[in-house]
Structures are given as C-alpha cells and as structure tokens.
Amino acid sequence: MAAVSQKTVDSDEAGMRLDRWFKSHFPGLGFGALQKLLRTGQVRIDGKRAKADTRLEAGQAIRLPPQVTGTDAGPVTAGTIKNTGDADALRRMILYEDDKVFVFNKPAGLAVQGGSGVARHVDGMLDALRSKKGEKPRLVHRLDRDTSGVLVVARTRGAAQKLTAAFRKRDTEKIYWALVKGAPKKPEGKISTWLAKEQTPDGDRMRVVKHGEADADHAVSRYRVIETAGQRLTWMEFEPETGRTHQLRVHALHMGCPIIGDPKYFEDDPNWDFPGGIQKKLHLHARRLRIPHPDRGMINVTAPLPPHMVQSWNLLGLDEADGDRED
C-alpha cells in the first residue's frame, strides 16, 4: 500500500541541507528524482515548498510521497486499481490524511458517486475505510468522472459539516489545470454566464443560456494562461467561484477553447488535426485545494498530474513545476 508520510527533523540534523538529509535517510533516491519531487511540490517542509539547498531546522516536518518511501506501486489510474481492493485502492490515492480528513488524488475515469452504468465509485469504496466506531467517511464535494485530482473526504460527521460549509461559503481556493484548443483572447479574465441542463441522446449536457431562463444557474470562473504550446494548444489555469455541473468544461467551450479530450464538449473541426501522441482523454485536473481544516489551520494540497496529462506535457515540452503559483 502507498501512502504519504511525514518525518520530523532531529535536533542533530539542524542546519543540514535538504538534499543531504535525503541522501542520509533514503540513499536509494537519486538526485534527479528528488529534484522532480521538489519541483512538483510533492516534497514539502511544514507544508511549504522547498529547494534542495534549503537548510533544515529541528522539529520541522518533511512530507514524504510514496515514491520516497518505496511503497509506490506505480501511477494510480482507474485501470491499475481495477483489481485492487477498495481499501488498498483508496490508500494508494491518499495525498494527505489526519484524524478528521482524507485528501485523495482521484484518477480520471473513476466516478465519485454511483449512477447509471457505474459499477465502482468513491462513495461506495469508502465503506472500506470505516472507523473503529463504524463511521463511514463522507463526501463533501464532487469531481466529474473524467476529471482527476484533489478530492476531500471528511472522516467524521462534524468534519463533514464544517467542510461542506466552507465549500458553500466559498472559503476555499480551487485551482484546476487544463489543456485547451486554441487560446483565449485575453491572457487572464473572468467568465460569467448562466447555465442550464439539457437532455441529449448522449446524456445530460449543460449549455449557456440567458439570464431568467427556467432552471438556469449563475456560474463564474476565473482563468489565466500559463503557457502556450505547439499546434495551437494552451495550458490554462481555472479557478471556479461557483460549483455548477461541468462548469469549467462549458466555460472553456464558451471561450472558444474546448478542453482537449472532452467527450461532451470538444467539438470536432475538420480544419483542425488532433495532436499526434496525445490521448483523447479529458485534460482537466483538480490541481490544488486550499480549505480551512475542521479544527485547525488550512489544508493546502497539490495533486500531481495523471499519466495521460504527464504524457501530453512531455510531448509539448511543458514543465509541471512552471504552473504553480508561489504560496
């Protein structure tokens, strides 16, 4: 089983460089591998990003991802956990945990809740992580089935109430990354529309409608361009201020920049060739979440990209570390 862990800096290690500390504790971890973990924010000191030459202080907590401790069984995808028990599968997804909260890196293709044609979903899998008192962890927000990334789950009823309230009051910061077709006219901005659900032969679909139309909900998203890539593609950051169904996917289409691989909203264009080597899977990832902890401080978690997006980033020469804003 893989899990994130933490290790405390001893008093006799004060002043040691971080890279030398890793060499001492984990001699099998190469310098290049450590640099990648640092660039992508997977290794942190007291929750903050660090560099290889950072000097340590006694008592600091160093975040250790599964790759460091040697318990990682490879990238977690809906396919790699297909024949894995629910408890083991969920533990392989853990980015953070304490007595009140689980934070998972949900793989693309795994549904959060049940529905028509859904055989396995996170809500059902959570039965395997019941507490000793028999309490089942509770969902407090959702991600689309094809969207990967940060998913917060409460371990107690009280934690669920506080986390749900934080989402409802918008006391959270949710950052998504996407690879889109084309580029927006402005490098950053806000999208404000009204959305309504419509039934299609391929299932429910959201569309932009006029204010006042029946069952329409207001949806607001902020965006910024991180980097443009080959063949008229753009790496974008989205921050939803509201939480409507398919909101970011519809807003991307509304801008004229549909998300690559979106099975519902990417419209085929005979004059545009799909980039070779890029998988036709949804390139939308819940990268980061900041939310008040139910008891103390803030939860600030970043999820590494899923394998199909890592492949695209490599093909396009994009560096995952370039997209994160400094704390």
Q: What CA–CA distance (Å, rounded) separates 125 from 222?
A: 33
The answer to whether 144 is a known catalytic residue is yes
Give Dmax over CA atoms of the chain in angstroms: 67
Q: Residue 143: CB partners within 8 Å, gap ≥ 6? A: 106, 112, 149, 151, 286
Q: What CA–CA distance (Å, rounded) separates 129 from 113?
A: 16
| Residue of 19, 144, 146, 324 with catalytic role | 144
Q: Residue 100 to residues 10, 121, 158: CA-CA distances in angstroms?
A: 27, 21, 9
Q: What CA–CA distance (Å, rounded) separates 19 from 252?
A: 41
Q: Residue 176: CB partners within 8 Å, gap ≥ 6? A: 147, 149, 237, 238, 239, 240, 248, 284, 285, 286, 287
The residues carrying an active-site annotation are 144
